[in-house]
Amino acid sequence: LKKVVLRLPVVLSYSTEANVLPSLAALQSRLGLSEAELKRAVLTLPPVLGYSIEANVLPSLAALQSRLQLSEAELKKVVLRLPSVLGFSIDENVLPSLSALQSRLGLSEAELKKVVLRMPTVLGLSIENLLPKIHWLQRETNLSDDELRHKLVSNSVMLSYSLRDRLQPRAALCDELGASRSLLWSYHGKSPPAFREACEKAARRSAAV
């Protein structure tokens, strides 16, 4: 409770019985949340206590579910992994970004859905964030359109990485050590020291050939 109040002091002015509890009940019913899951969502996103669930959140969830053809279980999975989606402007921001991503990569409906289910945080990324990153990955790792599509569907988390703070420095490290930039894909999840070690090993193998 303290955590919620500190993050959302205005909650003290809310009408709990008249507004908050009915809204939480509607959200819980719509998504089939357990008490623990509902609690986790609120602790992660305290502002949800002030959202207009019936008027705004439920129609937004319906639009997202329809666009991606999500089952009830899949929609619930997305919300639990990314509670902030409850506050997103689906029609104005999320759907246009999904359309731009699908168009840029030539994704089928099934592939787009797979990307979102593997990495729900893509729903919070803007077109301005996504497209330059995709262009850079294709250019700097020398991929065809088909190769790029396949890799991003399989490694959707790459879309969430910072171009400036993660991808570009790692590409520079590959160049410095004489390793292929393909390691950006192969070892994308490794820590900085582990990634450097992988680059050094790859460079030694290459030099020995």
Decide if pLDDT at 69 tops 60.
yes
Instruction: Rounding to the nearest 10 degrees, give the CA dihedral for residues 96, 52, 84, 163.
Output: 40
Whole-prediction pTM value?
Answer: 0.84
pLDDT classification of 17: cutoffs 50, 70, 90: low
Distance CA(40)–CA(48), nearest Å, equals 12
For residue range 143-181, what is the model confidence (pLDDT) as tens digits?
A: 999 999 999 999 999 999 999 999 999 999 999 999 999
Taking residues 43-58, report their average pLDDT.
84
Q: Which residue has the tokens 């009830």?
A: 72
For residue range 80-123, what is the model confidence (pLDDT) as tens digits?
A: 999 999 999 999 999 999 999 999 999 999 999 999 999 999 99
